Structure 1
Amino acid sequence: MTVTTQGTAMKFRPLRWSDDFMYQAILNHEQKYDGKFLTCVKSTGIYCLPSCPARKPLLKNIRFLATEQEAIAEGFRICKRCRPDLFYRGENVDENLFIEMLARIRSCPSSFTSVSSLAKSCGISTTKLNELIRLHAHLSPADLLNRERIKAACSALIHSSQRILDIGLAVGFESEASFHRQFSAHMAMTPSAWRLLSNSNAFLLKLPDDFNADYAWRYHLRDKESLSEHLDETSFTKALWINGYPVVIHLHINGSTATCRWTLPENFLPHSEQPAGVEIHRQVLRLLGLNTDVQGFRSSARQNKHMARLIESSAAIYVPMTANSFESLVWAIIGQQINLTFAATLRQALIKLAGPVIGQDGFRIHPSAKEIAALEPHQLTDIRFSHSKSQYLIGVAKAIVSGALDLDELEQGSAVVAERKLCELKGIGPWTARYTLIRGMGFADCVPVGDSGLYAALQQFYQLSSRPSAAETEQLMKPFSPFRTQATTCLWESLRKKS
């Protein structure tokens, strides 16, 4: 058969399999036949890969064609589920599958009652689903579903007057007890306490039994002369960006609870989508590292000799993060190829230069992307930044201000995509990107290859004769997957204990 398209004759390539054989392959969603033939559905006019997760029509309603060009010439359109166009362009099909799956979960988390139902909707096995979500979200499928259900519940609790039980059931939890247990574990407060955040200037967090704030304070106060964080006998004080306004919080730890209080500026305009208390709560969880799956890490240690040896003399470490991902990225760029002391000095100088003053005592807030984007490179070189580092920092800030880089979107998506997008920026390499994924985005299975402290800690842990290379570091960290972020912090901490 010959068809003519745009003035050229194209002869369809014959297929080597029978229709019955290919039909069985698409019923089984066989990925190995992707690129070998296409399924063209007569009733809908779309063409799909053999592995497409969409429901299959009857054989009589299908045409099988060998190439994408043939399908287009016959008037068929691309399937939005399996995206054969991406496959034939050489783009990552699994990455697209993850992104679309995440969008479907967020649109209606109650649609997926179990991991198996999620796998079925994607047209893949539960084993493949686990691999996909581990790679991109650094979570198990069950944990991802719980996270998205709780996010949906958080929004409903603030923006609706529904009963708490009805909200829990509506987002996919099987019972009131299950909803309360999972919500409290993720948010460190009950659903009813969360609902009060829309009209409050304080909240109380229930801390895990093994929580110790010392590690968090040491991280946030690595700059001993910090202008933007302060710890005294009663509380930790820091200014946070809330809806574009600087808000000073006071965080007090008392045994198994943490109390956070704040006062909004007089000119503060509330944000209808995100009340101040909700955003402050989110950032405080980050500052304390309460998103860390310590129990999962320690449970895995029972079956993993490397993890067991790493934590045998170590207290639980909740990995603290920066208040927002931009602050972490700034710290990572500043810290490139210099020691911690000089990095802290440069950070302090940057905050003094561009961080708005809060109050009467010179207390400042870490500058946002807007403040840094407004700087000229010479202003940074004048405070001992290198010329290249000045350009990198201002360039990243400008990308954020222009909308070319959305750190919040990257944080809520795929770790693979986030690392790639960051590394596309001038001056951002794997170490800077992965440090940002750890401290700014909270991904749980990152290895900051290139980190001298990690190299030294691995040499000590494995009793190596010399420091490992980047490739060797990747191999040495594999036994700690899927908790390599926690393992990295434990290894860093082992160096401090030795010194």
Structure 2
Amino acid sequence: MTSTERLDPESCYRAVKSRDRRFDGVFYTAVRTTGIYCRPSCPARTPAFQNVTFHPSAASAQAAGYRACKRCLPDATPGSPDWDVAATAAGRAMRLIADGVVDREGVDGLASRVGYTPRHLARILAAELGAGPLALARARRAQTARVLIETTELTYADIAFASGFSSVRQFNDTIREVYASSPTDLRGRRGGGATTGAVTMRLAVRTPFAGRALLDFLAVRAIPGVETAGAGWYARTLSLPHGSGTVRLEIPDVVETGQTAFVSATFALEDLRDTAAATERVRRMLDADCDPVAVSDAFAGDPVIGPLVRATPGLRVPGHVDGHEIAVRAVLGQQVSVAGARTVAARLVAEHGRPVAHPGEGLTHLFPSAATLAALSPEDLPMPRSRGRALVALCSALASGEIALDRGPDRGAVREALLEIPGIGPWTADYIALRALGHPDVFLPTDIGIRDALAGLGRDPSTAAHLAEAWAPWRSYAQLHLWHTLTPTTKEH
């Protein structure tokens, strides 16, 4: 985790002089002479070293009295990859703040999810990110509001509440303070339109970005009624804090290093207050904050993964929009093929899924909730009795809050809690960590797909665990590169 103490001015300034995009979102440059803060890759003339300071978050720069640069839009960058790599309390808190937890539950709710007192969490965030939870949440609201102002026709009142502000006045004051512009100035001459539940946003993704490979992974596992995909796009339903929704993503095939990658996301939401949560959860699914250059550098000399990385640079570890859903799907996938797990999941959706408020494009139902599945009898589930008991026990723990998969708790503690459930073994717990918790260093040596992939590469499958030792701390990405050798493309579906 990049902290205020560990931001070396000399190293940061070198990144600014070279306009290195890899550091966008990792730190921010504040310029004393202009009163603005920028991303490291800002195309403006590089300020003198004595005129700049560096901040680990946009909120830190704002708290110091700086306004966002109107040219490089620094708060629109992907988040720091350190949030998932280190997964410290500050990183876990940032994920929850981006999901809107502070807006919904306050600082006390955030602290409870991370496992600290509000005062201690505030100290941690101030030390690591240069700002407290309220300031970090305020910066996130401002950024969401700016995107909605500039890319939608929603009224300002709708944008204010969709962004998490408690009043229109608070929204107006914050926008003026952060951007030195009124909402009307940001929108320009386009004017406001009619209120709808549809919101289209461009989500920034670090490059290189292997979009087609990510789409292929999602498409081959798509559950009818919940997910659908086609050439260049993927859509699914969303279970959100205030209601249901859907999202359609337009995913570019490949974006090379140095270019700007955007995924266009169109949300249809039952309640616009879920805009921030929906956006953050989709970003997790895209693994948008990953540093693919660091990953590829780590595998450069490896005889197994190195060639795969060079063939598909920018491959992502697909996250998920709902930790409960991926946990259930992990149990369904125990010792069965991807197609078999997909078939069983489709049956559960048809029998127990809740209809969405805005159906369309083959999207009709939400995946069944943990509480709904916990109330079922194992004998009534379309799977072996022992697996049914494991599924019901897991869903009971999720529904009660005994196990949380919202990236708030410590990953190790979550894994231990999962393994205590009869029928949940290391493969299931680690698959959940891979996709629900965004763990970058997970490997499944007993996975049949991994064994098949290694055999296809001329390697002995029994050596999987030994080979993976050299792939730390990015074993999750090695896992995906091996799986990718077995994944059919979207043209084959």
Q: Which bracket does the TM-score occupy, shorter chain normalised?
A: 0.5 to 0.7
Give the superposed CA RMSD.
Answer: 4.1
- 2:454 aligns to what SS in structure 1? helix
Encode CA deviations 1:294-327: one digit per residue, 9 max, x unaligned: 2211122346555423423233211112211111
Change (3 A) 1:351 1:497: closer
Q: How does 1:46-445 map to 2 (within 5 A)?
A: 113-114=5-6, 139-140=85-86, 192-193=146-147, 199=162, 201-223=199-221, 226-232=224-230, 235-243=233-241, 245-253=243-251, 256-265=261-270, 268=271, 275-302=273-300, 304=302, 306-358=304-356, 359=358, 363-380=364-381, 384-408=382-406, 411-445=407-441
Would the alpha carbon gap of residues 476 and 392 (structure 1) be closer, same or farther in structure 2, given more than 3 Å must change? same
Residue segments in structure 1 that go unaligned for 5+ positions in a row: 1-104, 117-135, 161-168
Q: Measure the CA separation in 2 of the matches of 1:418 and 1:147.
A: 13
Q: Residues 156, 244 of structure 1: CA spacing in aligned structure 2 closer, same or farther, 3 A cutoff?
A: closer
In structure 2, distance between residues paired with 1:314 and 1:497: 14
- The Cα shift of 1:370 comes to 1.7
TM (norm. structure 2) is 0.59
Deviates more, 1:317-326 or 1:287-296: 287-296
Aligned residues: 338
Alignment TM-score, normalising by the size of structure 1: 0.58
The verdict on how the C-alpha distance between 1:350 and 1:211 changes in structure 2, with shifts beyond 3 A counting, is same
The 3 A distance-change label for structure 1 pair 351 and 152 is closer
Q: CA deviation at 1:391?
A: 1.4
Percent of aligned positions with the same letter in both sequences? 21
CA contact (8 A) 1:322 1:328 kept: yes
> Could you tell me which amino acid in structure 1 is paired with residue 379 of structure 2?
H
Residue 496 to residue 149, structure 1, CA distance change in 2 (3 Å): closer
Deviations 1:366-394 (A, max 9, x none): 111122122222331xxx31111221111
Contact 1:423 / 1:429 at 8 angstroms: preserved in 2?
yes
Alignment match, 2:187: none
Query: Is contact 1:199–1:277 with CA below 8 Å preserved after alignment?
Result: yes
Output the CA distance in 2 between the equivalents of 1:497 and 1:397. Answer: 31
Q: Which runs of 5+ in 2 are unaligned?
A: 9-81, 107-124, 150-158, 164-198, 254-260
User: Bigger CA drift: 418-427 or 357-366?
Assistant: 357-366
Per mean C-alpha deviation after superposition, the further-off stretch among 214-223 and 348-357 is 214-223
Partner Cα separation in structure 1 for residue 101 and residue 400 of structure 2? 31
CA contact (8 A) 1:137 1:443 kept: no
Name the CA shift for 1:473/1:306 in 2 (closer, same or farther; >3 Å): closer
User: Counterparts of 1:364 and 1:156 in 2: how far apart (Å)?
Assistant: 25
Supply the AA of the counterpart residue of 1:294.
P
Cα offset for 1:221? Answer: 2.4
Higher-Rg structure is: 1
Instruction: Find the aligned partners of 2:393 and 2:94 in 1 and give their Cα distance.
Output: 36
Structure showing greater relative contact order (alpha-carbon pairs closer than 8 Å, 6 or more residues apart) = 2
Out of 446, 460, 473, which is 1:482 matched to?
Answer: 473
8 Å CA contact retained: 2:285, 2:318 = yes
Tell me how far apart the structure 1 counterparts of residues 290 and 101 of structure 2 sit (CA, whole Å).
24
Residue aligned with 2:318, SS: coil
SS at structure 2 position matched to 1:312: helix
1-structure distance, mates of 2:160, 2:93: 20
Q: Deviations over 1:441-494 (max 9, x none)?
A: 110000123201112223444633xx30xxx43221011100000001101112
Distance 1:329 1:154, change over 3 A: closer
Q: C-alpha distance in 2, partners of 1:486/1:440?
A: 15
Q: Provide closer, same or farther for how the CA distance between residues 154 and 438 of structure 1 changes in structure 2, counting only shifts above 3 A.
A: closer
SS for the counterpart of 2:266 is strand
- Distance in 2 (CA, whole Å) between partners of 1:447 and 1:418 is 17
1:197–1:278: 8 Å Cα contact kept in structure 2? no
The answer to whether the Cα contact below 8 Å between 2:145 and 2:160 also exists between their aligned partners in 1 is no
**Conservation of the 8 A alpha-carbon contact between 2:333 and 2:341:** yes
